Structure 1
């Protein structure tokens, strides 16, 4: 009993329990602090990504321009910011607006769904402007809205909308308004769209014989291209055009003649 009691009394000062090493203690504290710090950094980064994804889904989404079909307005490699609120509260695209739309069912056929994980990662990267948009997404300029009669071309080689000539200052220098003749009436709820680089643009003209006649449903419009945000040297707004200011509204009774294309409205 006495021996065990003495052994117990000697334990606190036993060499088996050396005093704490300040360096070792500091190191342990450093480890304990760095763990939560990394977690906070990771959580903050994740929160920022989620915020940007929500912002791009509901408010404004960056898009990467992959081709020259909208030159000189938009250049290859430009990153534009698309205003998703522009048509959210009752407004609809107007003639002259540069819009991004989903061409599924109008410009491209429906395709079977691919790998969902790969698709999700690509959609996230595209939503942040880090990857090219889906092959079903297009950016074009609105030339005709529901009820409009759009014809190419008059004796001076210009497009007319509702029998009014349209001077198009945004076209690529040297391009004709169109090398493809057409005479169409835009059905209600749809748009006739064309690229600014007409000789290099696959647009509504190329789908005249397709289901829908090249018309883009308004509800497929993602938003209006309002800003060029990259590269910094081109950081500016997408300039509005007054080319269509003189174009009258389509007649309430529809156009009197039956144009080639989609019939009269």
Structure 2
């Protein structure tokens, strides 16, 4: 037998190939590590349901507080565009970071005091509706919906020879959304629903807006709160709404479904110049 034969025989009888040993050892190690890893326990269905409801509730509160909230139209003051009991959504993003309402915006604001009768200020009475209102899934009471006609510094006059409101000397073309009723102009004082007297207001103080309903002869708005020459029990300045009371801007008519539409600012307000003083 040659030395080469002995070498081959020694390898085949006394040693295993290294690849065989390492493969077996690795497989054994993986098997052992798999057996030692604890299995994650799944929550019972009822606990998962409670957790999901809690997350949904937190998200609803956050959305209501910072982004979107539901309201309804409480009167006929915004006809013809928004009618009684229409469901609307307002967005709050436009007024973040010091942003304020602009002319032409339809806004929801808290009652400045005495603008609404007690029944409209009460809000929902049903316990379920109350709970839903707190998280923004049901309209709340104590709010009004009007259109911004003037902002800080503006002067508003009623009216030109065509019955149009004039803001900073610029007449407003409002026929597309205003309901005049029996009045002959777009700016009557709702106490009598007529245009039998001209009026002027402004400059509007800083941090305030002047608002009116689109149904001009049927809206309890800023024009109704103005002090007329023959009034003795009137507080000057009550016609202006503090910007701090504005909750948000109407951006969609949500319900009824057949009247769904996005709400945009009328182009006529783009032509209004900045106040001169």
Distance between the aligned counterparts of 2:102 and 2:55, measured in 1?
36
Tell me, yes or no, if the aligned pair for 1:106 and 1:214 is still in contact at 8 Å: no
Distance between the aligned counterparts of 2:114 and 2:275, measured in 1?
23
Distance between the aligned counterparts of 2:100 and 2:269, measured in 1?
15
Distance between the aligned counterparts of 2:152 and 2:178, measured in 1?
23
Distance between the aligned counterparts of 2:201 and 2:170, measured in 1?
14
Instruction: For residue 103 of structure 1, report the CA deviation from its aligned partner.
Output: 2.2
Over 6 Å off, 4+ runs: 117-121
Q: Which of 205, 222, 239 matches 2:223? A: 205
Instruction: For residue 230 of structure 1, report the CA deviation from its aligned partner.
Output: 2.0
SS at 2:104's partner residue? coil
TM-score (norm 2): 0.68
Matched with 1:218 is: 243
Tell which structure's C-alpha radius of gyration is larger: 2
Instruction: For residue 118 of structure 1, report the CA deviation from its aligned partner.
Output: 9.1
What number of residue pairs does the alignment pair up? 213
Matched with 1:71 is: 79
Matched with 1:21 is: none
Distance between the aligned counterparts of 1:151 and 1:56, measured in 2?
37
Matched with 1:153 is: 159
Instruction: For residue 68 of structure 1, report the CA deviation from its aligned partner.
Output: 1.6
Note closer, same or farther for the CA distance 1:119–1:144 as it changes in structure 2 (3 Å cut).
farther
Matched with 1:178 is: 187
SS at 1:196's partner residue? coil
Establish whether residue 138 from structure 1 lines up as the match of residue 144 from structure 2.
Answer: yes
Instruction: For residue 226 of structure 1, report the CA deviation from its aligned partner.
Output: 0.8
Matched with 2:65 is: 57
SS at 2:61's partner residue? helix
Tell me, yes or no, if the aligned pair for 1:73 and 1:238 is still in contact at 8 Å: no
SS at 1:81's partner residue? strand
Instruction: For residue 242 of structure 1, report the CA deviation from its aligned partner.
Output: 0.8
Q: Which of 82, 89, 92 matches 2:97? A: 89
- Give CA deviations for 1:237-261 in whole Å, capped at 9, x if unaligned: 1132011222111113xxxxxxxxx
Tell me, yes or no, if the aligned pair for 2:79 and 2:179 is still in contact at 8 Å: yes
Establish whether residue 47 from structure 1 lines up as the match of residue 55 from structure 2.
Answer: yes
Q: What's the C-alpha RMSD, in Å, of the aligned pairs?
A: 3.0
Instruction: For residue 233 of structure 1, report the CA deviation from its aligned partner.
Output: 1.7
Distance between the aligned counterparts of 1:39 and 1:64, measured in 2?
35
- Give CA deviations for 1:163-217 in whole Å, capped at 9, x if unaligned: 2111112112646312224211011211000001112211001111354231011
SS at 2:96's partner residue? coil
Tell me, yes or no, if the aligned pair for 1:79 and 1:129 is still in contact at 8 Å: no
Structure 1 unmatched runs, 5+: 1-32, 253-265
SS at 1:51's partner residue? helix
Tell me, yes or no, if the aligned pair for 2:57 and 2:135 is still in contact at 8 Å: no
SS at 2:247's partner residue? strand
TM-score (norm 1): 0.71
Instruction: For residue 228 of structure 1, report the CA deviation from its aligned partner.
Output: 1.6
Distance between the aligned counterparts of 2:242 and 2:171, measured in 1?
25
